[in-house]
Structure 1
Amino acid sequence: MPIADLNQQGIYFEDSGGTGPALILGHGFLMDSRMFDAQVQALAPEFRIVRWDARGLGRTRWDGQPFTLYDSAADCIALLDHLGIQRAAVGGLSQGGYCALRVALRSPERVRGLVLISTSGRADGESFRTAARQVRDLWGTPGATENIVQLYAGAILGDPRFHSPWLDRWRQTPKGHFAAAMNNLIDRDDIEPRLGEIRCPAIVFHGVADTALPVAEGQALFDALPGRSRFVSIPGAAHAPTLTHPEAIYPPLVEFLRGLAS
């Protein structure tokens, strides 16, 4: 199992290899790098696709300490260093997109372009954060976990055909891991005022049927990025179109990546 010892963590990653331009992808909350299976299959070997599991989730060996999105950004940069990749397109879905934006702010010289999916530069409002804290505190309580899993399945995945095997993975998430990953989102800072600092090209994808983060958030993010290249709205897609609508992502994504490499 590919584990890199970075920043006192054992970061799980997969690297398609090859000599093509690199794209590194970070997953969303409760998910892991397997949510990008279709993108690896479609894009490699023309592109070198690196995907990794964030602290507290997936197969990464997390040290159990609280972490922020800036810690995740540091993990992403450290993984690029570990793999000898000087510059890459940096992307992610939801939580992974929050991380990618912070990589671009912290280390702009490492970012060739941004691939942002179902994400935002804004922090959540207080009412959302209050509800999220309640969910966090209920996780692991008999009966409550299953209700939360079902709620998240609808919001993140939408169509029940895509729920397996994710629901089983979610049910096995320890309370401490769930709480730390949730706190990472609840406590994130609002970087919308800083988005004008990000000058690299960016493509933004967002599902029209996304109830976890409405499509207007993706449009606002796109409008705020000076290097914006294209906004792709995906009809019928909920919060995880990389899983549910990969065919809508591939053509504009490959066009964007080829443009970065030219």
Structure 2
Amino acid sequence: MRIHASDHETTVTVRGTRGPAVLLVHSLGLDRRMWDPVLDRLAEGRRVFAYDVRGHGTASDAPKPFTTTATAADLVAVLDALELETAHVAGLSLGGAIAQAAAVAAPGRFASLTLMAAPDRPVPEAFEQRARIAEPEGMATLVEPTLERWFTSAALAADTEGVRYARKCVASFDPATWASIWRGYGGLDVYERLRGFPAPALAVAGGADASIPVDGMAAIAARIGSGARFEVLPGAPHIQTLECPEAVADALGGFLPAEIDIP
């Protein structure tokens, strides 16, 4: 489905025909297909939507510069285009940062918030370094270091389908857009601003995540407050859906409400 999101168009993948609405927001450098391994499971009793974030996939020609304020507005615009007053929003990594920014700006649009391997404050030096490398050198030198942050060594050695998909995405990314996204990511401003969030919240950590450690996600759950649940996926790396989809589906399926068939 093609829809209008703020100042650009994007594509939405849709699964399920009934039940609560779930909106999925993907990681930096990938696109909505990152969620494919879990869509069918999540669509059991739910309507699930995954869209391309500006600068990615079919939204790669969206206006720059990339900012978290703009992407938060985009998320709300996607809800509007899909005629969803509220949705259960889940985001991984950058997607989780975008979800948090939107939750701060428009908490009433959230039936729940799920954060997976997502920071609530930036690391400016690291983000700027990744931006700077892309500009003069292109993407070739960034591919393998990025994959090493995203996957376990076992998955990289096996060259799994998820690894191949991620490698292709990063290698083909426009360097100027990559730099703009990392710099915009550095403007994330949600730290301590979701305390007492009015809807249910879940924070999911990967036990083998090289980017966002388990204690970092636990601290985010604590900052949201007593209403936030925290779960660790043992052995899961940063891009949880591409290496541990069953564990992700179990965690989200146990948190998100669903419409159940009654015999």
**TM-score relative to the length of structure 2:** 0.89
* Contiguous gaps of at least 5 residues in structure 2: none
**Identity over aligned residues, as a percent?**
27
| Cα distance in 2, alignment partners of residues 251 and 228 from structure 1 | 20
* Contact 1:199–1:227 (8 Å) recurs in 2: no
The residue that corresponds to 2:114 in the other structure is 115
The residue that corresponds to 1:234 in the other structure is 233
Moved more, 192-201 or 27-36: 192-201
Match of 1:173, SS?
coil
Alpha-carbon RMSD: 2.0
| Cα distance in 2, alignment partners of residues 164 and 19 from structure 1 | 33
Match of 1:65, SS?
coil
* Contact 1:98–1:120 (8 Å) recurs in 2: yes
The residue that corresponds to 1:167 in the other structure is 167
Shift of the 253–129 alpha-carbon distance from structure 1 to 2, 3 Å rule, reads closer
| Cα distance in 2, alignment partners of residues 244 and 112 from structure 1 | 27
1:131-150 residue pairs with structure 2 within 5 A? 131-140=129-138, 145-150=139-144
Aligned residues: 254
Shift of 1:41: 1.2
The residue that corresponds to 2:149 in the other structure is 155
| Cα distance in 1, alignment partners of residues 108 and 94 from structure 2 | 22
Q: Residue type matched to 1:31 in 2?
A: L
Shift of 1:25: 0.7
Query: Runs of 4+ in structure 1 displaced over 4 angstroms?
Result: none
Shift of the 64–16 alpha-carbon distance from structure 1 to 2, 3 Å rule, reads same
* Contact 1:89–1:113 (8 Å) recurs in 2: yes
**TM-score relative to the length of structure 1:** 0.89
1:111-170 alpha-carbon deviations (Å, 9 max, x no partner): 01011100121221x432443343333441xxxx32310111111123212311221222
* Contact 2:8–2:63 (8 Å) recurs in 1: no
Shift of the 134–180 alpha-carbon distance from structure 1 to 2, 3 Å rule, reads closer
* Contact 1:201–1:227 (8 Å) recurs in 2: no
The residue that corresponds to 1:251 in the other structure is 250
1:29-108 residue pairs with structure 2 within 5 A? 29-108=28-107
Match of 1:165, SS?
helix
| Cα distance in 2, alignment partners of residues 200 and 120 from structure 1 | 19
Moved more, 83-92 or 219-228: 219-228
The residue that corresponds to 1:176 in the other structure is 176
The residue that corresponds to 1:203 in the other structure is 202
Match of 1:49, SS?
strand
The residue that corresponds to 1:218 in the other structure is 217
Shift of the 134–35 alpha-carbon distance from structure 1 to 2, 3 Å rule, reads same
* Contiguous gaps of at least 5 residues in structure 1: none
Shift of the 5–259 alpha-carbon distance from structure 1 to 2, 3 Å rule, reads closer
